[in-house]
Structure 1
Amino acid sequence: MKKWIGLLLTFTLILSVTACGGAKQDNNEAIGEVEIGVPTENKGETLVVWTFTDELKGMIENHYLKDNPDLPYKVEVVVVPNDQYQNKLDPVLASGKSAPDVFALEAGYVKKYVDSPFTADLASIGFDRDNIDTLPYVLDVATDTNGVLKGSSWQATPGAFFYRRSLALEYLGTEDPEEVQALVSDFDKFYETAMTISEKSDGKVKMISSLGDLVQVFYAAREEGWVVDNKFVVDPKITELMEMGRKLESNKLTNQSEQWTEQWFASISGNDVFGYFLPTWGLHYVLKTSAENADTGVSTSGDWGMIQGPSSYFWGGTWLAMREGSEMEAAAADLIEYLTLDEAFLKTWAEETGDVLSNEAVVNEIKDGFSEPFLDGQNHYAAFAEMATKVDASILTGSDKDIQDLFTEQLTAYSKGEKERDAAMEDFISSVKNQFPNLEY
C-alpha cells in the first residue's frame, strides 16, 4: 500500500510540474531531426485499450477487428465513464499494473498526459509526423513541450457559429452565410449585430442562449495560454471576454441559461435564440437531436446556417496514446495507425458517420460530396475542412481545464453584476494560486 501511494504521489507531482506547459512555440521547429523507430514484438497475449467513449469501442469492434480477423492476440476494450476516467487511469499508469497499452484522451486533459513520462514517443514505433497528412493543430495538441509526438487522432473538431436562417432574414435582412458572416466577423460586430436583433425583435430574440457559449471562441483567440514558462498569464482576450459578458448580460442579449441545461437545449427548437457556437460534433449530436419541439412537433431542421463567426476555434476531440513500457508495442502501433492514419478506414468512417477527419488527404478527396439538409443544403464538411486549417492549438497546457473552471465562476459573477471586475479577477487569481502554488505569479 505504501509503495502504491508513493508511486501515485510521484505521478501526481510529475504531472503538476510538466502539465503546466511552456512557452508558445512551433512544434515543427522544436522537433528537428527525429529518429523513426520500429515497435518491438508483442510480449503479451492481450492488447488492452481504455476509452471514455463507446465510439472508440465501436470503431475497434466494427471495423478494426473485422478488417483484421486473424490477429494472434486478443483486443480488450474497457470503457470507463469520463467523470471517473482520470481517477482510474492515473493510479494504474503510475503503478504499471493492470494498465492499458493504448488509451484515449480528450481535449480537456490530453496535455496532462502528453507532458508526462507515461505516454510513449510515437516516433519510436514508426510514426513520422513529417510524412503523414494529419492536420498540424491535431499533431500539436499531442506533442509535448520537447517536441515529442505522443498521440494521434482520426478527427478534427473545428468550431463554427450556427444561426437560424429565418431569424437572420427577418431581423438582418439576409440569410446568406457570407453576408451573415460579415455581420459577425469580429467580436465588436458580433455585439452590434446582437443589439440589432434585440432591438428589432423587441427583446424577444437573444443572440446566444448562454454566456458559456462564447468562452471557447475567446480562449482560442488568445496570443498566450494560461501558463508560459511556468508563469501564470492572463491574456488580454480574457479581459475582453469579461467585458463582452458584462455587455451581453446587462443588455439582456443572452437567454441567461447555462449550457447543457433543459432551457439551453429548448431554444434549439424555439424561436428565442439566434445562434449557437458549436464544433463538428455539435451539429450531429446537439442541434440535430434537439431540433424538434417536444410540445408542437415542429422542427427547426433546414432552418440553420453555418459560418465561422468572430474567430477560429476548436472544441473537443479524442487522441490515442500508447503507454510507455507497454509489452504490446507492435499491436498498439498497428491499432493506432489503423484508426488514425489508414485512409481506406478513414474514408469509410467519414462516409458512415459524417465525422470530420484529421487526415487532409482524405478530407480533400471527399469534402465536395456533402450536402446537409439540416443546413438547407449547405456543405458543412467543406466549410469545416477550411476552418480546421486555421486552428492554432499551440497555447494549450495540461492545466487549462482546471484553470478555466475557476475562471468561469468569476466570469459569471462579473457578467451578472455580482462583482466588479477587479474583485472578480483578484478572486480568480487567488483561486489559481491555491490550486497551482508552484506557478509564478
Structure 2
Amino acid sequence: MKRKNRSWLTTLVSLALVLTLALTGCNSGNGNSGASGEGGTAGNSTEGNAENKGNSGGEATAAELKGTIKVWDWDEAFLKKMVPEFNKLYPNVKVEYTVVNNNDYMQKLQSGIASGSDVPDVILGEMNYRGQLFDLDVLDNLEAAPYNFSRDQLLDYLPSILSNTKGELVGVDQSITPAGLAYRRDLAKQYLGTDDPAEVSAILTDWDTFIAKGKEVLAASGGKVTMFASFDDAYRVIREQNSKPYVDGTTINLTDRLQKALETVFKMRDAGVLGKYESYTPGWNTSFAKGDNLFYPMAPWSAKWNIAANDKDGIGRWGLIPAPEGSYTYGGTSIGVYKGSKNKEAAWAYINFAYMSDEGMAINYKEFGNMAGTKAFFEKHKDWIDAGTDYDQYFAGQNLNKTFVEEIVPSVKADQQTKYNAMVQTAYSSLYPLWMKDTSITASAALEKLKSEVKNLAPEATIN
C-alpha cells in the first residue's frame, strides 16, 4: 500500500512539473468553515470593508489593477485575515465583503440576481446547492478570457464537480474534500483490538465485514456502541463511493445510482450498527465526545469543524482511515466569478491569490488547513504537508493531510452537479429520519418513495 501511494505521489509530482502553470497553487481540506460539509458551520450576517490587492490574470500588474469587488462568504475569520494580505499585493483593489450564513446564501443570491441590484463579484457554491447555482448560468467560464485558467491544473477528480452542464469550468476549489473515516481510538482498541490506523483499515476490508464487526461491537458493549452515529453518516459515505453521473438532461437515473447504496445502508440499519442521531443536530454534535459511536465521515475540514469543535478534550483520541471499498467526497465549496461583474480581473485576482497562489496558500493552508485543488500545490509544498498541522494532535500525531493525499485522494470520484442533484438531496433529507426509525420500510420501498418525492420537486423530469 505504501509503495502504491508513493507511486501515485510521484506521478502527481511529474504531472505538475510538466504543466505550464498560469497560476500557482494551493483546498473542505477544511480547517476553514468555508469548506463546510452538508449542513456545516456558518457565521452570522455582518459586513466589512477592506482595501485589497488582487491578481489580475490579465495584463495589468498587481499595483496597476484597480477596482472594487464584492465578496460574499460565510467565514468571517478567513475574510479578516485574507483580505488585508491580498491588499498588500493589490493595494488598488477594494474588497467589500459580506458575511452570509451558508444556509441563506442561495436565497440571498437569487434575490440579488432577480433585482439586479446586489450580486457579488465572487460567488461561493457550497455542495448542497452547487448544482442549482451552476444551472442558473450566472458564472463565467474560467477557461475563457480574461481568466484563461486550464482544468489540467486541477486534481483529476475536480473538473467534474466544478463544471456546469455545458462543460464549462465555472469554479475552482476552496479546499479539496476527499474523505475517509474518523474513528475513536479508545473504542477501536477496546472493541476491535487495535487503535492503529493501518490495522483498523486491514480489519474492515469491505462493508459486509464492517457490518459483521459492528454486530460484535454491539454485543460486546451491551448495545451501547454503534459503528456510525447516524443512518445519514453511512449513506453519505456509501452514496458517494458509487459516484457517477446520473442526470442526463431531464432524466434522473436513481435506481442505477442509489439502489446499491440504499441496500447497504438498510442492511446496517437492520443489523443495529447505526446510531439514532440525525446528522448535524445537537445530539450528533455531542456524540463525538460522548463515545457511543466508532466512526464518522471525515474530510480535511472535519478535523476543525467536527472533531476539535465537538470533542474539546479529544487530544489523541482519534484516528483516520480510508473508508472500506473506496474514497468519496464530503462537502466542499466552489469559488467562481459572476458573469455580470464589472471587475472580472480584480475578482479573479482575489480568487487566485486566496485559493491558489503561494502567498495566499501560505495563509490558507497553514492557518485554516485548506489544501488547494491544484496539482502544483502538492508538487511545490510537500514540505508543508509533511510538517503536519495543529489538528494532528487530536489524531495522536497521525499526519492527516499526508493520509488524505497518499491514501484517500487516489481513488476519489465525484458527480457532476445539477439542480436535480440538489433536489434529490432535498428529497432524501426529508425522508431518511423515518427510514432510520421505521424498520418495516425496506430499501426498495424507500427508493420508490424517493423517486416519488423527486418527481414532486421536478415534475418535468423522467425518474428511473
TM class, shorter-chain normalised? 0.7 to 0.9
CA distance in 1, matches of 2:288, 2:226: 12
CA distance in 2, matches of 1:337, 1:38: 8
CA distance in 2, matches of 1:55, 1:127: 30
Change (3 A) 1:319 1:55: farther
How many residues end up aligned between the 2 structures?
A: 397
Tell me what 1:305 maps to: 319
| TM superposition shift of 1:59 | 4.6
CA distance in 2, matches of 1:404, 1:359: 28
Q: Where in structure 2 are the equivalents of 1:208-287 lying within 5 Å?
A: 208-236=228-256, 238-287=258-307
* Residues 106 and 133 in structure 2, CA contact (< 8 A), matched pair in contact too: no
Please state if 1:320 is matched with 2:341.
no
| Aligned-partner residue type, residue 94 of structure 2 | K
Tell me what 1:136 maps to: 156
CA distance in 1, matches of 2:263, 2:130: 30
Counterpart of 2:427 (choices 406, 425, 428) is 406
Tell me what 1:396 maps to: 417
| TM superposition shift of 1:130 | 4.9
| Aligned-partner residue type, residue 179 of structure 2 | G
CA distance in 2, matches of 1:328, 1:206: 52
Q: Where in structure 2 are the equivalents of 1:141-220 lying within 5 Å?
A: 141-220=161-240
CA displacement, residues 128-170 of structure 1 (integer Å, 9 cap, x when unaligned): 21563x3233333221223211111241111121111222122
Change (3 A) 1:309 1:145: same
* Residues 228 and 274 in structure 2, CA contact (< 8 A), matched pair in contact too: yes
Counterpart of 2:126 (choices 90, 97, 106) is 106
SS in 2 for 1:143: coil
Please state if 1:337 is matched with 2:352.
yes
SS in 2 for 1:204: coil
| TM superposition shift of 1:422 | 4.2
Please state if 1:429 is matched with 2:444.
no
Gaps of 5+ in 2: 1-55
| TM superposition shift of 1:183 | 2.4
Tell me what 1:17 maps to: none
Tell me what 1:32 maps to: none
CA distance in 1, matches of 2:135, 2:120: 18
Change (3 A) 1:130 1:323: closer
* Residues 230 and 276 in structure 2, CA contact (< 8 A), matched pair in contact too: yes
Change (3 A) 1:278 1:235: farther
| Aligned-partner residue type, residue 438 of structure 1 | E
CA distance in 1, matches of 2:280, 2:444: 29
CA distance in 2, matches of 1:309, 1:430: 31
Q: TM-score, normalised by structure 1?
A: 0.82
Query: Which stretch of structure 1 is more off in the superposition, 58-67 or 151-160?
Result: 58-67
Gaps of 5+ in 1: 1-36, 293-298
| TM superposition shift of 1:383 | 0.9
Q: TM-score, normalised by structure 2?
A: 0.78
CA distance in 2, matches of 1:223, 1:60: 34
| Aligned-partner residue type, residue 436 of structure 1 | A
CA displacement, residues 220-267 of structure 1 (integer Å, 9 cap, x when unaligned): 122544422321111446223333333333333222111122322222
Change (3 A) 1:39 1:117: farther
SS in 2 for 1:301: coil
CA displacement, residues 393-430 of structure 1 (integer Å, 9 cap, x when unaligned): 24433322321221244444344325344443332212
CA displacement, residues 97-133 of structure 1 (integer Å, 9 cap, x when unaligned): 332222222122223223333111112222321563x
* Residues 44 and 327 in structure 1, CA contact (< 8 A), matched pair in contact too: no
Query: Which stretch of structure 1 is more off in the superposition, 226-235 or 374-383?
Result: 226-235
Change (3 A) 1:313 1:55: farther
CA distance in 1, matches of 2:97, 2:69: 8
Tell me what 1:369 maps to: 387
SS in 2 for 1:269: helix
SS in 2 for 1:194: helix
Query: Which stretch of structure 1 is more off in the superposition, 244-253 or 382-391?
Result: 244-253
* Residues 182 and 319 in structure 2, CA contact (< 8 A), matched pair in contact too: yes
* Residues 288 and 310 in structure 2, CA contact (< 8 A), matched pair in contact too: yes
- CA RMSD of superposed structures (Å): 2.7
Question: After TM superposition, which residue ranges in structure 1, 4 or more long, deviate above 6 angstroms?
Answer: 40-44
| TM superposition shift of 1:213 | 0.7
CA distance in 1, matches of 2:160, 2:227: 33
| TM superposition shift of 1:277 | 1.2
| Aligned-partner residue type, residue 401 of structure 1 | A
Query: Which stretch of structure 1 is more off in the superposition, 163-172 or 418-427?
Result: 418-427
Tell me what 2:70 maps to: 48
| Aligned-partner residue type, residue 319 of structure 1 | S
CA distance in 1, matches of 2:129, 2:65: 30
CA distance in 2, matches of 1:111, 1:59: 29
CA distance in 2, matches of 1:191, 1:326: 52
CA distance in 1, matches of 2:460, 2:124: 28
Change (3 A) 1:200 1:345: same
Q: Where in structure 2 are the equivalents of 1:62-73 lying within 5 Å?
A: 62-68=84-90, 70-71=91-92, 73=93
